[in-house]
Amino acid sequence: YPCPSCGETLMEEGYGEEHWLVCACGYEEGIEPDPGDDPDRKYDEERGRRMLGIDVPDGVSE
């Protein structure tokens, strides 16, 4: 991403769960962490689809 201050390319840095973008000009911007491959999220999404009747295989009853 280009720096909104000077136009140079931003570099991502992080420590622990926190991540941010920095530029040589001193600009910094916090960014949200990527949820990645969270098994709990997959379970919640599947449960939501089943509750709404979306993507439920034929012959499967609730």
User: pLDDT by residue (tens digit) across 2-57?
Assistant: 999 999 999 999 887 788 999 999 999 998 866 666 667 777 778 888 888 776 55
Helix (H, G, I), strand (E, B) or coil at 52: helix
Give a yes or no: residue 58 inside a domain: no
pLDDT of residue 60: 53
Give a yes or no: residue 31 inside a domain: yes
Give a yes or no: residue 2 inside a domain: no
Alpha-carbon span 3 to 27, nearest angstrom: 7
Give residue 26's domain range.
11-52
Structural domains counted in the chain: 1
